[in-house]
A and B are shown apart, each in its own frame.
Chain A
Amino acid sequence: MKKDGDTMKQKLIAENVDVFYGEKQAINNISLGINENTITALIGPSGCGKSTFLRCLNRMNDVIDTCKISGKILMDNTDIYGTEVDPVELRAKVGMVFQKPNPFPKSIFENIAYGPRIHGLASNNSELKDIVLSSLEKAGLIDEVKDRLDDQATGLSGGQQQRICIARAIAVSPEVILMDEPCSALDPIATAKIEELMNELSQSYTIVIVTHSMQQAARVSKKTAFFHLGDLIEYNDTDKIFTQPENEKTQDYITGRFG
């Protein structure tokens, strides 16, 4: 259904983004556009700035005091670093799933319901319950947990916990979901489930995923960006990147010669 990436609408556009941690520059002048309702993978060796870039997209870097960002990141043609944008509102539109499953040490229901609650998305309890159930359904978890919504989320398996985190992100109806190595703490079976889920979600959400696994990037993403030492080396359709990379460094990395 998505034939040509270049003609698609771009949901997020980064223009000349630099990020500094104190004196140290983590990202050098990166510009890249992320297509709507597509999975975009960010790959590269550790410390290449891909997670930093991801965290710029929902302003999670604001939390770090020493972090300074310059350049523009446009979401639907609004600069998300503009003065009129509230990072709290932005994060409701740009959800995030972290490397390690981090459900709140509360019940499954409370985990999913927290987001809708703070954003006032449900006017009463039955609406809230509907949101929780539909989020769990979209995250493919409903059959596994529907009888134990009051159990502690931390008691679930790692893969289930990660899907709880995805359901939790979905529950606030975001437009973009950022995933920071979502499968690095999971076994292959749980990983397969999450990848399948990502595929389904990409129908209605723009997904950006940071991954260390080249196979994962190749399996799930439509477009791939290769980062190295804070530079964007190559950004293209995933098929192209993995079959005929233009840059030698990309070639070396995907064939496992470094990184």
Chain B
Amino acid sequence: MDINRKNFTRSRKRVETRLKFYGLTSICFSLLMLATLLISIGLNGYTALQQAYFKISIPVDASEFTSEDGNILKNKINLYDWDGTVNRSFNKLFPEVKSRDDRKKLFSIISSNSGYDFKEIVKKRSLDKGKTVLTVWLSLSDDADQYLKGRLSKDIPEKDRRISNQEIKWVDSLVERKIAQLKFNKTFFTAADSREPESAGILGAVVGSALTLTITILFALPLAVMASIYLEYFAKPGKVTDFIEVNINNLAAVPSIVFGLLGLSVFLSTFGLPRSAPLVGGLVLGLMTLPTIIIATRASIRSIPPSIREAALGLGASKMQAAMHHVLPLATPGILTGTIIGMAQALGETAPLLMIGMVAFIIDVPSSFTSSATAMPVQIFMWSDSAERAFYERSSLAILFLVGFLIIMNLIAVVLRKKFEKRW
């Protein structure tokens, strides 16, 4: 009898140890996967924090686009031959390049937006009247940039390489003369999308996402809270309520692209709202997150001790007063957590935005809820689809950005939770 007991205890302990080990292994495995993901994206993306620039001195004749009292004339500055000015100066660094074809190749190692970039620099500087020589740093082309970062190896046969031997020689010569180097890629954080990787930035997509999520939260949160209160406290139990309940749960499981189609047919076709706008994107994502927030809100309303509500009702508060004055404030942490989870889901959502045209190529940072915009996941989707290697590293960096935003949102959720939590 005693020995049996011993064996029994021992085998029970063995099972316990084994299950504990399984649990630990699962956690380690998922952490390992997460770490692998983040590290591989990080290794691909960190180089996008830098961009290859070259230093160049360019003569400008300010009198051609400034008025007598020193103001820049808009129509004249746009007519000025900025591309030619930059190219001519760049040619002077390589005087041996003379033929039209060779010059064309030479200019391909600098960004094709150099003229525009230089114009923007000139606009910001107050120039003396007459001729001046400006020394500025401008972007090299994305291929030269990738070569300097060691991502385009010389070992690859020339015909398979995006940068020719001659171009490599020119870039090397710039580096030797110490007038080409990798510098912090400010453009990535201050610009919107561009066809040229060296001019492309994430800001447009970040602002687009922020505008979209603003609409989403303004639209979804009040609706979800009101719906939850009604369902919890006012709806008479019965077939209709059951039907609504089942459908809210169903709605949470509907593929997101369906919401995109809904947005396309309702908001764009029927209501005629502008295409590609954060307003429509926000409404669509709001519809999508509505069930998530409703479910979270109802769960957190139910978790409030009924005694609090009874106390209010017993004092003669109406149902709505009891809910608004007592239950809702106490349920806030749960509601916020649900909302932020819903927002995080919305932030990472791509498919419905494709349907309503937020996949457009937009070179300006959106300025209002109705201007054309794109969102971060869509931007990543578009960049990862591009042929240029430089877009590859940029999409990796953008992914890190997106993940960073998600982490920040979750941190906010934790902080708010802690702040509003009340004990009783």
Interface of A toward B, CB cutoff 8 Å: 58, 60, 63, 65, 88-92, 95-96, 98, 100, 102-105, 114-115, 118-119, 154, 165, 168-169, 172
Contacts and interface: CB of A to CB of B under 8 A. Distances in A.
B314 A91 contact: yes
A165 B311 contact: yes
B308 A102 contact: yes
5 contacts: A60-B313, A91-B316, A92-B315, A118-B316, A172-B315
B307 A98 contact: yes
A169 B314 contact: yes
Given A103-B311, A114-B315, 20 more contacts: A60-B314, A63-B313, A88-B317, A89-B316, A90-B316, A91-B314, A91-B315, A96-B310, A96-B314, A102-B305, A102-B307, A103-B424, A104-B311, A104-B312, A115-B315, A118-B315, A118-B316, A154-B424, A165-B311, A168-B311
A61 to B, nearest CB: 11
A90 B312 CA distance: 13
B153 to A, nearest CB: 66
B316 A104 contact: no
A89 B325 CA distance: 18
A104 B313 contact: no
Nearest to A62: B313
Interface in B328-359: 330
Nearest to B318: A88
Contacts of B157: none
Nearest to A100: B307
B307 A92 contact: no
A103 B311 CA distance: 8
B316 A92 contact: yes
Contacts of A58: 314
Given A154-B423, A154-B424, A168 B237 contact: no
A99 B272 CA distance: 58
A105 B327 CA distance: 11
Contacts of A98: 307, 310-311, 314
A114 B314 contact: no
B14 interface: no
B315 A60 contact: no
* B237, B315, B325, B422 pick with most chain A CB within 10 angstroms: B315
Interface string B294-314: 000000000001011011111
B55 interface: no
Contacts of B325: 114, 118
A65 B315 contact: no
Interface string B128-172: 000000000000000000000000000000000000000000000
A105 B424 contact: yes
Interface string B84-123: 0000000000000000000000000000000000000000
A102 B314 CA distance: 11
Contacts of A92: 315-316
A107 to B, nearest CB: 12
Contacts of A154: 423-424
B326 interface: yes
A215 B333 CA distance: 44
A250 B307 CA distance: 32
A172 B424 CA distance: 24
Interface in B253-304: none
B202 to A, nearest CB: 43
A91 B424 contact: no
A55 B327 CA distance: 21
Nearest to B307: A102
B321 interface: yes
Contacts of A105: 308, 330, 422-424
Nearest to A153: B424
Nearest to B315: A115
Contact of B317 (A65, A95, A118): A118
B13 interface: no
B383 to A, nearest CB: 49
A238 B221 CA distance: 56
Contacts of B305: 102
B310 A169 contact: no
B357 to A, nearest CB: 47
B314 to A, nearest CB: 4
A104 B307 CA distance: 9
Residue in B237, B305, B308, B313 whose Cβ sees the most chain A Cβ within 10 Å: B313
Given A98-B307, A102-B311, A172 B316 contact: yes
Nearest to A111: B311
